[in-house]
Amino acid sequence: MRSRVRAAGHAVHPILIVFPLGLLTTAAGFDVLHLLTDRVTFAFTAGHLIAAGLLLGVVTAATGWLDWWLVVPPGTRAHRVGLLHGLVNAVVLVLFGMSWAMRLAEENWIPQWPALAAAWLGVLVSGLGGWLGGELVERLGVSVDENAHPDASSSLGASAA
């Protein structure tokens, strides 16, 4: 089940996922730094990281949904797991979106406990979403090239097309 959304021979969705996941998780880390130091700059940075993570999360989700819709056969376990993977990660974006919106209402974007809880819950839920993504690729072979093997040619080679 080769991905249809590709760049330079590779599926785009797994390339992009590191960005929102890293930005949103790092934002939660900056929240911890803010709590430990009471420095406003850490809270301000966390808010901006969440905004960037949400924007890239939407782009990343779009590539995943396209692959799910165009590549994964309906009625298969992969289709069900893919749907659950997408929905779980949508919950992550909603949780971080709520956290970001609550910060906007505060002076200097200082997060109160509900905003912090939403972000930290988002990090935890993203672990489940990541596990489901791993299940799709590693167990169900979604987005794995049909010619993949330990000595396969480069994805940039002419035979990869």
b/e code 78-92 from CB counts within 10 Å (16+ = b): bbebbeebbebbebb
SS3 15: helix
pLDDT at 122 over 90: yes
Residue 36 is predicted with a pLDDT of 98
What is the average pLDDT across 113-134? 97
**64 contacts: CB under 8 Å, gap ≥ 6:** 13, 82, 85, 86, 89
The tens digit of pLDDT for each residue in 92-105 reads: 999 999 999 999 99
pLDDT band at 158 (very low <50, low <70, confident <90, very high): low
**pLDDT for res 108:** 83
What are the structural domain ranges in the chain? Answer: 6-143
pLDDT of residue 98: 98
What global pTM score does this model have? 0.91
How does DSSP assign 64-133, residue by residue? Answer: HHHHHHHTSPTTSHHHHHHHHHHHHHHHHHHHHHHHHHHHHTSGGG---HHHHHHHHHHHHHHHHHHHHH
For 67-88, what is each residue's pLDDT tens digit?
Answer: 999 999 999 999 999 999 999 9
And the tokens for 157? 């080679």
Query: Mean pLDDT in the chain?
Result: 93
Give residue 159's pLDDT: 52
Cα–Cα distance measured from residue 161 to residue 159, given in angstroms and rounded to the nearest whole number = 6
Band of pLDDT at residue 160, cut at 50, 70 and 90: very low
Name beta bridge partners: 11: 6
Percent of the chain exceeding pLDDT 90 equals 78
